[in-house]
Each structure stands twice: as C-alpha cells, then as structure tokens.
C-alpha cells in the first residue's frame, strides 16, 4: 500500500524540455490541467500528495521519478544521466529528507534515472539505458543488497527507460510491451501483453486499489480490467510529447 506521493508542478519552462518524440511542442495550459487531474487520481487512490513548486531552471523536473528510488525504510537519491537534469536532485533532496532519515546517494561517474528502476516484491530490476550506466546500476545494486533486497541488471535494447515498457501490478502480474514480452528475466511472471500499437500504455501504475493508465488504449484497458483491476484513465498527451509517462510524474511510497 502506498500512503504518500510526491509530485512537482510543471514550470513555464516545461515546453522547452528534452524530448526524442516527434509529437510537437507541449501546450503548457493543457499540461497543467492534465497534471492537476493526475494529482486528483493519486488522492482518489488514497495517498497524501506533496506538491513541490515548479522550477524554471529545470524544464523536465516535473518528472520527479527520475530523482530517487524510494523503499519503506530508506531512499536513494539518484544521479540523473542527462546533464541538464542533474541538478533536479537538489530540490528533491530537501523534500525527501522530510520523509526519510536513511538516505543513500548514487555518485559520479555512476548515473541513474529512477525511471529505469522497477520493484517487484523484494527484487529491483535496474535498466541500463542512455540515462543509467553500469556504474550507477552497480552502486544501486550494492545498496539494495546491503538492505536485504535483490538487484537484477537488465540491458535495454530499444526502450528509453525500463519502465517505458513494463509495470508491476502486484500478485506476480506484470504489464509488458516490446522487448520485454519475451525477455527471459520476466518469464516467471503472469503477463498482460500490450499490443505494439498501444505500447505507450505499458507505462501504467498500480496505486493501491487502482491501476492508473493513459487514456486512449482500449485493448490494454480491457486486459487489465479482465485481470481483476479497477482502472483510472488519464489524458497524457502533453507529457508524452516530452517522453514522459504516468510513472514519471510521481514518487510513490
């Protein structure tokens, strides 16, 4: 059960953030509306939401997931792999310290984005991507094993972040797309397979009694509902334009 969530309001500079998509420039007003609906969904799921003000200096900083890895007993402040995003951790460190006494840090030359980390029970999968390197992954693995967790490093072939293509819903059930559909590390789990045309929907989040999914992906929604989960659909168009998904917009603990 998640009791708390942290979000960061998109700043006016959000429209100038990093992106590899070809979906056009975000509409800030629309992004703020979608972010507000996201916060309301987190509240509906039963979490207390901490809202951090936006920071003009960091256009991508609304994607707070990349700044930390949170567990019940300790936090790990990441070291984001994009130079323009690295300073985002300073705003978030202050917030995270208000909730955690035990805090670890990923240190250079290691880089790590929280979007590359997926927890399934006592195991954390750590993706090697353009933003998370082997040094950072090994640092996190060492921290996790010190604390009694298991760490498994996964090389990404195509996805931007690990959680771009996989989500854990609980009950040994995962949502998978693309390269993770037949990936040997995930074959022991019950799979909900996202069709190629709905790949974006693989980035969904289970928050207590609900699975929050992006709107407009009916096949994936139907499969998740058929598996016994209640869903909340949210419009995500303005965050998809900046390579962002549902998991990226919050830290859940």
* Contacts within 8 Å (CB) and 24+ apart, 216-221: 219/194, 219/195, 220/175, 220/192, 220/194, 220/195
pLDDT digits (tens, 9 = 90+) for 149-194: 999 999 999 999 999 999 999 999 999 999 999 999 999 999 999 9
Q: Which residues are catalytic?
A: 161, 248
Which pTM was predicted?
0.96
High-pLDDT (> 70) share of the chain, %: 100
Instruction: Say if CB 35 and CB 9 are below 8 A apart.
Output: yes
Instruction: Say if CB 162 and CB 118 are below 8 A apart.
Output: yes
pLDDT digits (tens, 9 = 90+) for 122-157: 999 999 999 999 999 999 999 999 999 999 999 999
Q: In whole angstroms, give the CA distance from residue 87 to residue 172.
A: 36
The mean of the pLDDT values for the chain is 97
How much of the chain is helix, strand and coil, in % rounded to 5? Answer: 35, 25, 40
């Amino acid at each position: 059960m998640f009791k708390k969530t942290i979000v960061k309001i998109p700043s006016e500079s959000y429209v100038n953030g990093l992106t590899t998509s070809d979906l056009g420039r975000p509409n800030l007003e629309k992004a703020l509306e979608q972010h507000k609906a996201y916060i309301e969904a987190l509240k509906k799921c039963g979490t207390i939401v901490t809202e951090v003000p936006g920071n003009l200096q960091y256009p991508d900083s609304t994607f707070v997931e990349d700044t930390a890895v949170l567990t019940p007993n300790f936090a790990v402040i990441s070291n984001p792999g994009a130079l323009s995003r690295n300073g985002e951790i300073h705003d978030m460190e202050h917030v995270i310290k208000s909730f955690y006494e035990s805090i670890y840090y990923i240190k250079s030359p290691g880089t790590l984005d929280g979007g590359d980390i997926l927890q399934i029970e006592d195991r954390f999968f750590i993706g090697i991507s353009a933003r998370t390197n082997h040094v950072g992954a090994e640092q996190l693995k060492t921290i996790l094993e010190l604390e009694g967790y298991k760490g498994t490093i996964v090389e990404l072939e195509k996805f931007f972040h690990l959680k771009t293509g996989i989500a854990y819903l609980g009950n040994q059930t995962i949502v998978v797309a693309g390269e993770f559909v037949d990936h040997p590390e995930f074959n022991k789990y019950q799979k909900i397979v996202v069709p190629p045309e709905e790949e974006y929907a693989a980035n969904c989040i289970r928050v207590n009694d609900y699975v929050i999914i992006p709107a407009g992906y009916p096949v994936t929604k139907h499969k998740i509902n058929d598996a016994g989960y209640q869903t909340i659909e949210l419009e995500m168009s303005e965050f998809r334009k900046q390579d962002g998904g549902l998991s990226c917009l919050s830290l859940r603990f």
